[in-house]
Each structure stands twice: as structure tokens, then as C-alpha cells.
Amino acid sequence: MPAKIFGTVVSHGLKGRMLTKNELQMLTESRDMDELVTRMKNTVYLDALAKLTKPYTAEKIENALKEYLVNTHSKMVNISGGAKILSAYFVKHITWNLKMILKGKALGKSYDELLPKINLRAEELVGRRDLVVKALVSKNLEEAISSISGSEFADDVTKAAAIYKDKGDVRIFDVYLDHVFYYDLGRAMNTEAQSMDAKNIVSVDIDSYNVLAILRGKFWNLSPDEINNLVVTNTSKVTKETIQKMINAEKISEAIAELSNTVYKDIVPQNPSSDIDSILQIEKGFELIGLKRAISAFKTMFSVGIVLAALKLIMVEVRNLSAIASGIEQKIPGETILSKLINLN
């Protein structure tokens, strides 16, 4: 219990220090990257940006923010007594790097092009630096895939590479690496006694992954068996029966229609312009539901769900700040940048 109490107190502190809409607006009004970094250093992100060197770029800022996120996540795992659900989410930082590397290798990008996009802090904290570095220094995609053999990612990455050769869409690597992450997350959810808040947050993430994996699999014309192999544990909100109906549907629109019989009926797109548009709308819908669940978790007392919720909110804030940096670098008007941010208030 003491770990839960301490974790809850720290989580409330993190939430309380999150940037307000006015602070985000002030950042979007920065004239250039120098002014943006100066303004960001007047926030809780001072230490995160302390090592930044000029000339400032969006990529450097994003990398520094990622490191802050990883360090915060690691601290929360430790103060929560190593809760399995928080440790399972930590793997997401590693899969993010592997996605960047494998997609980059598929597109013929060099080591020098990929290196600035990769932050190895997560791997260093869990003793897995070699896994990512070997893939990063590989000459090509085949060598990178070979370097991952023997790891928990090997089977899915090999399948992804074979389908990529046929379909030519690098996002296939995203789905198959996500499969590894969500499979482990599902196991953590089912094997460890969780607070209802934690289950509410995790179940939305798993439902989102399963639904989007099915829809993207259909978009790529994968076989029903291939799509079925991408599905991880089901939840009470999207049953096995619903999942099978979605997989067996002839068209993407028919698969989406099955969601009308679930708690997610409100995110079924109305009059989408295309299948891709439908998939993107559903992805955004799930994201907003997950965010609402995270915010509502703070109404309860002393649970791992509050710690997970705090991490979720910080992940979104880091995405917002990265989007601001990218917008300032591209000279996009402040009001346009602000309109694209995910609202956390």
C-alpha cells in the first residue's frame, strides 16, 4: 500500500505541473526556435532541455522530451513497486525505436539519417541497448531483421518484412511491432490484479489496437488468418464474437459497422470520404476515449491506475510540445499549431 500512496501523490504532482492551455498558446506564439526553447525552459521542462545545443531543431527538442518521458516512466515504475502493467507499457519506448529503424532501413535511409531520431535512454535503463544498436548499424533491412533474431520481436518482424515486400507499405512494421507490445500488455492486464481504473485505461488501448489492426489488415488485403494472428486478448467491451465478425466482413465499412453494437458506437465515422479516412477517425476516437479515462482516473484514491493515467497525460503533453516545435520550425502560424494540439483541459 505505501508504494500506491507514494505513486498516487507523485502522479497528482505531475498532473498539477502540466502546462495550461495559455502556456501552450504562449509557446505556439514563439517567433523562432531560440525563443521557443527559452520559453520552454521557464516550465517544468527546464532540466529536460538543459543539454540542448544550438542550433535548436524540432528533432533535438523531441529527442530531449522523449528522454524526459522515459526517465519519468522509469521513476514511476520504481516508486510503484515495479507494477507489471507499468513495466509492460515501458516496452513501447523500445518498439518506437525499432519502428523508426526498420521503416528507415526499408526506405533506404542511412545510419547518419536515422541516428538523430533515436534516443537509447529506455534501452539503457533496462539493459537492452545492444538490441537497438545492432539494428541501427545494419547495412540494410535484411541485416536489421537478422540482428533482431532471438528476441521477442523476431517472429513479428519477419512476418512484417515478408508482407512489406508484397504490399510496399512501411506502416506494416508499426502494426506488427505493436502486436508484440499489446500481446505483453494483455498478459500483464490478465495476470496481475489491477485496479478498475488501470483496467479501464488498458482495455481501451487493447480494443483500439485490435480494431485498428483488423481494419489495416483488411486495407492491405491480408488473409483472415493473418489478421486473426494480429489480434491480442479481447476485452469485455469488444468480444471475441465481434472481433470474428469484423475479420470475416467483406468490406472495411462492414467491419466498422460491427462497432455500432459496442460501447464504441459513438466513434463510428459518419459519411467518411474513404476507408483511410474511416480508420483515421476511429483511431482519433479511441485516443480521445483513452484520454477521458485517464483524466477520470484521478477521481479515485491510491491505485496504479492513477500512475498509469499520469504517464498517459505526460505522453500526450510531450506529443503536443513536439508538434509545437515542428510547427515553429516550419513557420506555421501559432493559431494553426494550437488548433492541432490534443486538448488536455
- Could you tell me if residue 318 is inside a domain? yes
Other residues' Cβ atoms within 10 Å of the Cβ of residue 52: 16
Residues 157 and 224 in one domain: no
164-168 contacts, C-beta under 8 A, 24 or more apart: 164/106, 167/220, 167/221
Question: How many domains would you assign to the chain?
Answer: 3
- Judgement on whether residues 272 and 304 belong to the same structural domain of the protein: no
Do 283 and 223 share a structural domain? yes
Task: Give yes or no: residues 95 and 128 share one domain.
Answer: yes
Q: 205 is in which domain, residue-wise? A: 196-298
pLDDT of residue 315 exceeding 70:
yes
Q: What is the pLDDT of residue 3?
A: 62
Domain identity same for 79 and 134? no
Residue 253 placed within a domain = yes
Task: Give the confidence band of 194 by pLDDT, cuts at 50, 70, 90.
Answer: low
Residue 304 near residue 321, CB atoms below 8 Å: no
User: Per residue in 100-145, pLDDT tens?
Assistant: 999 999 999 999 999 999 999 999 999 999 999 999 999 999 999 9
Asked whether residue 8 falls in the same domain as residue 73, the answer is yes
pLDDT bracket for residue 266 (50, 70, 90): very high
pLDDT at 302 over 70: no
Residues 105 and 26 in one domain: no
Q: What is the pLDDT of residues 156-180, one digit of tens each?
A: 999 999 999 999 999 999 999 999 9
Question: Does the structure show a pLDDT above 80 at 301?
Answer: no
Angle at the Cα of 316 from the Cα atoms of 313 and 319, rounded to 5 degrees: 155
What pLDDT, on the 0 to 100 scale, is given for residue 156?
A: 98
In a domain, 191, yes or no: no
> Quick check: is 181 in a domain?
no
Taken in order 235, 238, 241, 247, is the CA torsion positive or negative?
negative
The pLDDT tens digits for 39-59 are: 999 999 999 999 999 999 999
Is there a domain that residue 178 lies in? no
Q: Are residues 332 and 283 in the same domain?
A: no
**Domain end point (choices 262, 280, 298):** 298
For the chain, give the percent of residues with pLDDT over 70.
97
> Are 293 and 318 in a shared domain?
no
- CATH code assigned at 326: 1.10.132.50
Let me know whether 268 and 227 are in one domain.
yes
Task: Determine, yes or no, domain membership for 174.
Answer: no
Q: 238 in a domain, yes or no?
A: yes
Cα–Cα distance measured from residue 81 to residue 120, given in angstroms and rounded to the nearest whole number: 24
| pLDDT one-digit tens code per residue, 2-13 | 666 778 888 988
The model carries a pTM of 0.93
Residue 172 domain-assigned (yes or no): no
* Largest pairwise CA distance in the chain: 55
